[in-house]
Structure 1
Amino acid sequence: MRAGWDLSAYLVLDPVLCASVGMVATAQKAVAGGVGIIQLRHKTASTAERIATGRALQAALAGTGAKLVINDDMEAAVALAADGLHVGQGDTGAAAARARIGPDMVLGVSVETEAHVRAVDPAVVDLVGAGPVFGTPTKPDHARPIGIGGLARMVALCPVPAVAIGGLSARHATAVIGAGAAGLAVVSAICGQPDPEVAARELVAAVREARA
């Protein structure tokens, strides 16, 4: 993985779950709690709206070292000169995404099956989001959950670092890290929690303990 990227705790922002606090404030609190990566995922927003939110996030996170990743919107990612772009299996292909964003931006790809993992080209893709490990209401149309065993098999096959995603929280850190994942990507474990900073600290501490 590229220098400066800590994959331990990866927050995927959800506009609905974050509504009471706001996505920008949630991101700030999460980063204060130790989260290293913030992904802006807003499926119903326009590119212009994603760019506006992305700029607000960049301003809020300036100087923290946290990375901003844009989900499934190459034009927004390029306009923002974001740190990364993440695409799913139903989105733009990895090769096309890399051609659009250039060589410097980190590219993440969702993988849901072992076949998806085998198709990952490490010359194109920097990391994968592997899952869903468990079912999750934050993405109702998700693929069949792979479980911890499935995660371990996918990580073993993967030529790039894998972050686990799907129904995860701090209590899953030991199993996920034990399966070989580089970290946990979460949504509801931080978004919508009474105190996102405390929730983030719990997640980061759990990952550190799992690695000890």
Structure 2
Amino acid sequence: MRDFRLYAITDERSHPGRELAEVMEEAILGGADIVQLRDKHSDRAVVLEKAKVLRELTRRYDVPFIVNDYIDIALEVNADGIHLGQGDTPLLAARKLVGDKIIGISTHAIEEALLAEQQGADYIGVGPIYPTATKADAEPVTLSYVREVAARIRIPFVAIGGIKLHNVDEVLAAGAKRICAVTEIVGSLNVRRTCEAFIRKLEQGGAIHGV
């Protein structure tokens, strides 16, 4: 898969009154180079319509488009890939359905990361690093997990969970090269500017506040 640095995930609850496509376009213009549709609340028909809108947007900007959980919707709109949690369709079963499309897997422990790598995941999510409202019941994995993954995992990984502009330097200094922020991006009053600020942090690689 094409490498990436800044992963943007949808969360419409964070931007009431603003259109999904408008917010995600601003993220792309600010430097987000992969976009995921994540909607755990709407029914399938609504998610499908959102997927169609974001597929058109990401195609226009040549940005990979990932659908969370809904393999059938990803196939229907010809998304570039899917993202699965530990409780979703097993990776090997998903691979049979999606072929060579991108498959990302959320991981919370090194055993999960190693298994995902062994089974052919294209990338893994590492988190939540910090407490986060998007997964309030999840125990933070802390920076120690980032360091462990950076040392032992060869496939791309993206740090996620509670990452903000004020703490991203320490995540990068722990070994992350790709980060995902949800509410910090889509809930921002200026989405494009926030993404640009994250890109600057990524370019500096955590050098300002190394740990």
| TM-score above 0.5 | yes
1:160 corresponds to 2:155 = yes
Distance 1:129 1:38 in 2: 14
1:71-110 to structure 2, matched below 5 A, reads: 71-103=68-100, 105-110=101-106
1:55 maps to what in 2? Answer: 52
1:139 corresponds to 2:135 = yes
1:161-200 to structure 2, matched below 5 A, reads: 161-200=156-195
User: Residue deviations 1:43-93, cap 9 Å, x none?
Assistant: 012232222101111222333121111001100111111011000001111
Aligned residues between the structures: 207
Distance 1:161 1:127 in 2: 5
Of 171-180 and 133-142, deviating more is 171-180
Specify the SS of the correspondent of 1:119. helix
Root-mean-square deviation (CA, aligned residues, Å) is: 1.6
Distance 1:189 1:41 in 2: 15
Distance 2:99 2:15 in 1: 31
1:112 maps to what in 2? Answer: 108
Answer yes or no: is the 8 Å Cα contact 1:72–1:87 preserved in 2.
yes
Specify the SS of the correspondent of 1:120. helix
Q: Where does the alignment leave 5 or more consecutive residues of structure 2 unmatched?
A: none
1:182 deviation in Å? 2.7
% of aligned pairs identical? 26
- Alignment partner for residue 63 of structure 2, among 54, 63, 66? 66
Of 149-158 and 28-37, deviating more is 149-158
1:133 deviation in Å? 0.4
Specify the SS of the correspondent of 2:151. helix
Q: List 4+ stretches of structure 1 deviating above 6 A.
A: none
Answer yes or no: is the 8 Å Cα contact 1:161–1:181 preserved in 2.
no
- Alignment partner for residue 150 of structure 1, among 145, 161, 166? 145
User: Residue deviations 1:94-146, cap 9 Å, x none?
Assistant: 1111111112x11000000112112123552100000110010122222x111
For normalisation by structure 1, the TM-score amounts to 0.91
Answer yes or no: is the 8 Å Cα contact 1:69–1:83 preserved in 2.
yes
Answer yes or no: is the 8 Å Cα contact 1:120–1:159 preserved in 2.
no
1:20 deviation in Å? 2.7
For normalisation by structure 2, the TM-score amounts to 0.91
Residue 54 to residue 171, structure 1, CA distance change in 2 (3 Å): same
- Alignment partner for residue 15 of structure 1, among 12, 34, 51? 12
1:32 corresponds to 2:29 = yes
Answer yes or no: is the 8 Å Cα contact 2:91–2:119 preserved in 1.
no
1:43 corresponds to 2:40 = yes
Residue 146 to residue 123, structure 1, CA distance change in 2 (3 Å): closer
User: Residue deviations 1:9-60, cap 9 Å, x none?
Assistant: 1011112113232221110000010110111000012232222101111222
